[in-house]
Structure 1
Amino acid sequence: MKPIHLAVGKFNVDVIVKVNKIPEIDFSLNTDVFEILPGGSATNYCVAVTRLGHTSKLLSKVSKTEIVKPLMAHLAEEGVGLDLVEEINSPPNYALILLRENGNISMIRRTSNSLLPTAEDVAKYNRIFDVTHFASIPANVISKVSKLITYDPGAYSKAYEGEKVDILFVNKKEYADVKNKINAKLTVIKKGSEGAMIYGDDEECYSEALKTDVIDTTGAGDVFDAAFNVFYLNGNNLEDVLRYANVSAGLKVSRIGGTSSPTLEEVVQTLKKVKINAKCR
Structure 2
Amino acid sequence: MAKITVVGSISTDFIIQTDKRPQVGETVEGKDFSTAFGGKGANQAVAAARLGAEVSMIGTVGKDTFADELLGNLKASGIFTGNVERVTELPSGSAVITIKEGDNAIIYIPGANNALTAERIGQLQPDLKTNDLVIVQNEVPVAAIEELVRVCTEVEVPILYNPAPARGLSAEAIEQVRFITPNETEFEVLFPGEKMEDVLAQYPNKLLITAGSQGVYYHDGTQVKLVPANKVEPVDTTGAGDTFNGAFAVAWSAGLSIEESIRFGNLAASLAIQKMGAQTGIPTLEEMKRSEKYEKTWNLK
Tell me which protein shows more helix as a share of its residues: 2
1:55 alignment partner in structure 2: 54
1:266 alignment partner in structure 2: 287
Tell me which moved more, 262-271 or 228-237. Answer: 262-271
State the Cα RMSD in Å. 2.5
CA apart distance, 1:110: 1.9
Pair 217,64 (structure 1): closer, same or farther in 2 beyond 3 Å: same
Q: TM-score with structure 2 length normalisation?
A: 0.81
Gaps of 5+ in 1: 275-281
- What is the identity, as a one-letter code, of the residue corresponding to 1:165? V
CA apart distance, 1:117: 2.1
CA apart distance, 1:176: 1.9
1:6 aligned counterpart, secondary structure: strand
1:149 alignment partner in structure 2: 159
Q: 229, 244, 250: which one pairs with 1:230?
A: 250
Alpha-carbon separation, structure 2, partners of 1:118 and 1:203: 39
Q: Is the 8 A contact 1:160 1:178 kept in 2?
A: no
Alpha-carbon separation, structure 1, partners of 2:114 and 2:83: 13
Alignment partner of 1:197 is 2:212: no
CA apart distance, 1:249: 0.8
2:80 aligned counterpart, secondary structure: coil
Alignment partner of 1:212 is 2:232: yes
Q: Is the 8 A contact 1:206 1:242 kept in 2?
A: no
Map Cα deviations across residues 31-77 of structure 1 (whole Å, 9 max, x no partner).
23x22222111100010001101111110000110122123212211
- What is the identity, as a one-letter code, of the residue corresponding to 1:259? Q
Pair 142,273 (structure 1): closer, same or farther in 2 beyond 3 Å: closer
CA apart distance, 1:272: 4.3
Alpha-carbon separation, structure 2, partners of 1:235 and 1:203: 22
Alpha-carbon separation, structure 2, partners of 1:22 and 1:243: 34
CA apart distance, 1:135: 1.5
Q: Is the 8 A contact 1:94 1:110 kept in 2?
A: yes
- What is the identity, as a one-letter code, of the residue corresponding to 1:153? P
Q: 261, 270, 273: which one pairs with 1:250?
A: 270
Q: Give the aligned length.
A: 271
Q: Is the 8 A contact 1:117 1:141 kept in 2?
A: no
Tell me which protein shows more strand as a share of its residues: 1
1:1-281 matched pairs, under 5 angstroms: 2-22=1-21, 29-32=29-32, 34-89=33-88, 90-100=90-100, 102-112=101-111, 115-123=114-122, 124-126=124-126, 127-136=129-138, 137=140, 138=142, 139-143=145-149, 144-145=151-152, 147-163=157-173, 164-179=176-191, 186-199=206-219, 201-202=221-222, 204-260=224-280, 261-272=282-293
Identical counterparts, % of pairs = 25
Q: TM-score with structure 1 length normalisation?
A: 0.87
Q: Is the 8 A contact 2:92 2:113 kept in 1?
A: no
